[in-house]
Structure 1
Amino acid sequence: MCQSDFEELLLKALEIEKNEDDELKKILEAAGFNFVDLLVEKIKQSEIAIDEVLQLDYEEVLDIVTSLFSKNKKAPSEKAIRRELKKRGFNSNFSEAVIPILNETFNEVAEQMAKDLDSQFSNKKLSRASKKAMEKWFKELPQLMKLTTDDAVVRAINDAYENGKGIRGLESALSKMPEFSRRRARMTAITEGLSNYQAGTYEAMMQSDSVMGLKWLHTPGYPEPRQAHQALHGTVVKKGKFFNVNGYKARYPLDPSLPAGERIQCHCHVEPELDEKYLKGGEK
């Protein structure tokens, strides 16, 4: 590939990314999300960081797999494979590169939401339960992502041995795995970015005297929407109470306590229900 062809390809790739971000902005704005420019900027920062972590993980996994093949003529046990995979640094790399961006998203959204509510947000006022929930999720997120990758790598290694694909075939399979893909980076960035948006708005609402309740809003326009999420559209709960999401308790959409099936690619959000005396024209 000549230099001009490479530059043209790079420009096309950058245009695709820009179009994706513009489309995401349109979706979030149409759905009624606030602070969309800030949110999309943070999602992009997370996506880049996650993609770099995944690419580093791919290189580490490839080294481990190559070493396993060189030492084992027969397929190693699953226990042996997982023992070797534990040696890589995915969890720490993810925590160092990505978690600070998610924290920034939470704090900046909470501060902006507090301004809109004519109040102030303080991390010092977060409840112990909220702090524990956030710390727990930030610890579990890389662990869950790593486990998903480990499962896929184990399957790929066993397949390579069983079908005589050899190390070259396995390398090819690893390079095509969605676990190391930019798509995974983007999907994770969007899910966790929106989750921290929800958490930030929720905590700002909890600290505002003007907020009496929270209203769940479902975002239309997506194929095969979750019926339970659709059914919640317009549902209001008192501040501090939970939504019932398909049988699971949730403080807000994309609450980390929800299972993956209720979180991934969810674009629902909440808006505050204000005390009448704080509405325009009322007394404060």
Structure 2
Amino acid sequence: MRRALLALLLLLAALPAQAVDPLRLVSGFAPGGPTDQLARVMAPVLGQLLDRPVVIENRAGAGATIAAAAVARAAPDGNTLLIATSSFVITAATMANLPYDARRDFEPLYFLGEVQTLLVVAPTLGVTSMAELVAMARSGRQMNYASAGVGSTMHIAGELFNIAAGTPVAHVPYRGVPPAMAGMLAGNVHMMNADLPVLRPFVLDRRVVPLVVYSPRRSPQLPDVPSAAEVGMPQLDMSNWYGILAPAGTPQPVMRRLEAAFAAARVQPDVAPRFADGGVSEPMGADAFRAKLAAEFDRWVPLLQRAGIRAE
């Protein structure tokens, strides 16, 4: 690890310096959410390594497509980057007439990591297992779930539950994770799926009830919560990843410099423990991220189109 980090830092120093324009990291989600939090952990260290200001721009709404469109239109000069999540692929599969081509208009730069998805319900619902939740949702009772917006991973996770359980739980979209969580805690919605690190504090203080991890395996952060395979719903397999995308056509020397900076920042003492504490997996460089992104498109686009899930 030390040798790899040294090589990255040497590359960073050797490449030509950029102009002192701010580096804009554009997020499609509201301030305070998990994407925003990870970006703000990285930004100060990244700015020091690049010797330039790093600014987080939150352009929430429309399943993060507003932010993606802004970056797709930006000059490919390394000054504007997208903080993408799994919803980047989801929207390509569920939204018609996007103002950009998700496969052609972006270049994978760095993969920050991914986290598991957790399903929780309100304590007032009175259920403590997936079997009880499914039975209630099938009973004819009107039920709903919160999401961070149409086309978000939380939206798709909720619809995956409906498909797996054969239930009609209604979707209630909010403008980001924090307002969705507020709606959940206020009792305005019955259930929600979100990144496990986001929900874990509310689980620990018993403000929500965890039912299942959308994964073949349990989470070490919440080892008492069963996996999807254990509750007989292996099709509930979904994580949320975070990665950095640049506009297509960004020069390779600029891409290499930025990749080296993100790689160096990700392992710094002020950053790595914060990601680890949040349950975020190990990062990957541009080549591995490119392969993962292609695999994500290959999985989700046909799956969601077959399921008829559309973001109107």
Question: TM-score scaled to structure 1, two decimals?
Answer: 0.27
Higher relative contact order (CA 8 A, sep 6+): 2
Relative to total residues, which structure has the larger strand share, 1 or 2?
Answer: 2
User: Which structure has the bigger radius of gyration?
Assistant: 1
